[in-house]
Amino acid sequence: MREAVAGIVLAGGRSQRMGSSKALLEWHGSTLLRRVAGLVGRAVDGPVVVVRAAGQELPQLPPGIEVADDARAGRGPLQGIAAGLARVGDRAGVVYVCGVDTPLVHPLFVRHVTRSLGPDDDVALPCAHGFGQPLAAAYRTAIAARLDALIAADRLATGSLLAGLRVRELDAAALLADPGVAALDAALDSLLNLNEPGQYEAARARPAPRIVVRMQAAGPPRAIRAATLAAAAAAAGVMLGPQLAAVLDGHGAIDDPQEPLVAGDELTFAQAGERPAARAAS
């Protein structure tokens, strides 16, 4: 039986180069943290844990997203991963780890990376855009003991962690071997992280994802651009509320206006009394 997969989203960094909290940055009517946590949640079947600095303000998150506090601030990603793994505990055997600053992450990319982790691997490490990507990687939760030992010894570089683990490197060809990733994330934008205002502004200025919207009652499907459920409803000319049901293919019913959408999504709207049917996941 396949192991459960959890997600850890690191949101507790100091954001010094950005100049403000990345978690709270606006993203097409939502926030970076709401978007990334939601997209990771679509790709895993275990808990999703957001790791923050103690007392850090977070935007509203959907039910089911868990929050863990970093034990000590300013000690880098290993401390955050350890806090996330402690919260996940024995509820999953594999965890996908990413930063809050990856709003272009695609659930198909996350799923492909986690499924690439072999039985004799500790880490599935994407190696693209010129270097390894330890904050867009899949880890076995069993690394927790080694991670704690490194932190206790003040060896806080991600290289120190990887040096003692069995690493499966996933180059661009391996990442694009998944047909869904090749079709919907050919530039591997899932690996793009935003550290400075200029990078954020350039990414924010990109067109919203192209999705397909269907009305259950009538009319052909049509392509629109929308990054959230609210934006999709506005583009379709319908109003969210108790009288409207929405089903995201392969994901099920959704009702949060900030629910994130990605390229390739197919969304069906139905008025009260209709029964929108989810299409089979590809």
Q: What is the pLDDT of residues 176-231, one digit of tens each?
A: 999 999 999 999 999 999 999 999 999 999 999 999 999 876 678 999 999 999 99
67-94 in b/e form (b: 16+ CB < 10 A) is ebbbeeeeeebbbbbbbbbbbbeeebbb
Q: What angle do CA 186, 188, 192 make, to 5 degrees?
A: 145
Residue 271 reports pLDDT greater than 90 = no
Rounded CA separation 58/88 (Å): 20
Calculate mean pLDDT across residues 6-32: 90
Q: Which fold has domain 5-199?
A: Spore Coat Polysaccharide Biosynthesis Protein SpsA; Chain A (3.90.550)
Q: How confident is the model at residue 128 (pLDDT cuts 50, 70, 90)?
A: very high
For 243, what's the count of Cα atoms within 13 Å in the CB-facing half-sphere?
A: 2
Q: Coil, strand or helix: which one is 85?
A: helix
**Ranges 13-22, 228-237, 240-249, most confident:** 228-237
Q: What letter does residue 166 receive in the DSSP assignment?
A: -
Place of tokens 């998150």: 61
Q: Which fold has domain 208-271?
A: Ubiquitin-like (UB roll) (3.10.20)
Q: How confident is the model at residue 15 (pLDDT cuts 50, 70, 90)?
A: confident
Place of tokens 């990334």: 36
Which residue ranges make up each domain of the chain? 5-199, 208-271
To the question of pTM greater than 0.75 for the whole model, the response is: yes
Q: What angle do CA 227, 228, 231 make, to 5 degrees?
A: 90
Query: 251: exposed, middle or buried (C-beta count within 10 Å: 0-12, 13-18, 19+)?
Result: middle
pLDDT at 51: 97
pLDDT at 13: 76
Rounded CA separation 114/94 (Å): 7
Non-local CB neighbours of 85 within 8 Å, separated by 6+ positions:
8, 95, 141, 143, 144, 147
Calculate mean pLDDT across residues 8-15: 86
pLDDT at 272: 65
Rounded CA separation 130/271 (Å): 48
pLDDT at 182: 98
Rounded CA separation 159/179 (Å): 31
